[in-house]
Amino acid sequence: MPATLLPPDSPAHRRSQDLLEQFPELAKIPGFPQARMLTEYVLGRRGGELDVSGRATEGMFVAAEVVAGLPHEILVVDDAQGLQSRLLNEIAPVRTYNDRIDEARTVAEVADRTSTIDDLAGLGAEESGAETGEQTQAVSGEGHETWAIVNAPKATQALAETIAAVQAHVSTVIVVGRSDSMSRAVNKELARGFARVDVSPGVGKHRMIIGSRPLSSPTLPSFPKHGTINHAATGPMPVRAHGACFSGVKSDEGSAALLEAVAAEVQSAEAGSGSPTSVLDLGCGNGWLLAAVMQVTAAVKGTGVDVSKAAVASAKSTAEANGLEIGTILADAADAADAADARAVTATGCGLIDGGYDLILLNPPFHQGTIIETDTAAGLMRTAAKLLSPGGQIVTVFNSHLRYRESLERFIGPSQQVARTPKFTVVRSRPV
């Protein structure tokens, strides 16, 4: 694989090198190769040295007035480290969107001169003149081109929802990621909204897939998706999920095992405790587990917390589909300080209350992208211990090989295994 998209002696390559040399500290941060490739692509297109696919124009005539200044604005989606936003903002104005609020904070710190978008679905509203009621120049229109850069997500549905949200407002969508994660599904989703789809040359282990020439009548999917989860403890329950929501409209095995354990305790005459009146799900995902546990326990209060905007919106929709009213909070529950400040970011006026929940559910993630990590689980345990009411309990499910029981004992208190499947372990923690 070549190390660069640009010929070494090209003007665009020299401009790219000059720009990168201004930020030598960025070269050691994960994600730098993709940020460098995008910088080269934008400068190469702007200089007429690269075509839309990222290949050299090799002497082809390119009218200077057509490419000069392209793009006029760049929308960067899910730039986890902020490197793309930081470098590209030296070339054109950049707006950023991140589904995860922890990543949004990172972008704000690294690329502090960019502007942020809270909701991609609101792009159209941002183009309207709020005071005059007149339509302003579109994000992508004659004489003004906006390109969207989308970091390839693991879930195709996440990409599909992003493309559906931005297609009417941009002239080009560039999906960037590791070559081994760029499946034909990316091409398919881009082809729903764009007449031309190109695959760039690989640079190192990375490449781009580019959609251009927006279709006037695209065949874009709608969200949230609708589904049904059928569990023995509840029967069939409707579920809703936005594209970036973990597990979509399906139940993951861990959540199913946790629900079964909670249902068994409620039915057991030996449980020795009353049913909880309040349930808190730290990392609520699509909201099915929270809704199901509320049904099984007859709890009157439910609150779902997640670091993902897609998850919070999904959980709220799932609750509504089941006739439940829950509080949803966009917060990093693994960060106790952030959880304590959740009142400032709640969408429903329901803030986290120290010692305010009888039953807390934990199904902690152990992957950050492709990296295995357990810090998030430890943070969730600390936060759960702070929020649990006297006499309450925390029920945690985890992949058995992670051996989280010792951590639960350390951060929360006495913990007992209540269920185990070939893959998952469920532990109940009851502080003394």
pLDDT values of the chain reduced to their tens digit, one per residue, 432 residues: 678 999 888 899 999 999 999 999 999 898 999 999 999 999 999 988 999 999 998 767 666 666 777 899 999 999 999 999 999 999 999 999 999 999 999 999 999 999 999 999 888 665 544 443 333 334 445 557 999 999 999 899 999 999 999 999 999 999 999 998 899 999 999 999 999 999 999 999 999 999 999 999 999 999 999 999 999 999 999 999 999 998 899 999 999 999 999 999 998 855 455 689 999 999 999 999 999 999 999 999 999 999 999 999 999 999 999 999 999 999 998 876 666 665 444 444 456 777 789 999 999 875 454 444 567 899 999 999 999 999 999 999 999 988 899 999 999 999 999 999 889 999 999 988
- The stretches of 47-94 forming alpha helices (DSSP H) are 64-67, 83-88
Question: What whole-number distance in Å separates Cα of residue 52 and Cα of residue 199?
Answer: 9
Confidence (pLDDT) at 334: 84
Confidence (pLDDT) at 344: 41
Task: Compute the C-alpha angle 387/104/184, nearest 5°.
Answer: 115
Burial class (CB in 10 A: 0-12, 13-18, 19+), 218: middle
Question: What whole-number distance in Å separates Cα of residue 199 and Cα of residue 260?
Answer: 46
Question: What whole-number distance in Å separates Cα of residue 252 and Cα of residue 26?
Answer: 37
DSSP code of residue 273 = S
pLDDT tens column, 98-122: 999 999 999 999 999 999 999 998 8
Confidence (pLDDT) at 139: 47
Q: In sequence order, what DSSP letters do the residues of 188-237 get, joined into one string? A: HHHHTTEEEEEEPPPBTTEEEEEEEEE-SS-----SSEEEEEEETTTEEE
Q: What is the spatial order of strands in the sheet that 278-282 belongs to? A: 327-330, 301-306, 278-282, 357-362, 388-399, 424-429, 415-420
Confidence (pLDDT) at 213: 96
Confidence (pLDDT) at 350: 55
Residue from 314, 304, 333 nearest 246 by CA? 314
Question: What whole-number distance in Å separates Cα of residue 278 and Cα of residue 301?
Answer: 5
Tell me: cis bond preceding 2? Omega within 30 of 0 counts: no
pLDDT tens column, 211-223: 999 999 999 999 9
Q: In sequence order, what DSSP letters do the residues of 86-143 get, joined into one string? A: HHHTTTS-EEEE-SBHHHHHHHHHHSTTSEE-S-GGGHHHHTB-TTT--B---SSBTT
Q: How many Cα neighbours within 13 Å face the side chain of 45?
A: 21
Q: Which long-range contacts (CB under 8 A, 24 or more apart) does 378-383 make?
A: 378/334, 378/407, 378/411, 379/333, 379/334, 379/335, 379/336, 380/282, 380/283, 380/333, 380/334, 381/407, 381/408, 381/411, 381/412, 382/336, 382/411, 383/282, 383/333, 383/334, 383/335, 383/336, 383/339
Q: Classify strands 206-214 and 146-151 as parallel, antiparallel or unpaired.
A: unpaired
pLDDT tens column, 168-204: 999 999 999 999 889 999 999 999 999 999 999 999 9
Rg (CA), the chain: 24
Domains of the chain: 11-120+139-214 (3.40.50.150), 225-429 (3.40.50.150)
Is residue 376 within 8 Å of 345, Cβ to Cβ?
no
Question: What whole-number distance in Å separates Cα of residue 259 and Cα of residue 255?
Answer: 6
Confidence (pLDDT) at 275: 82
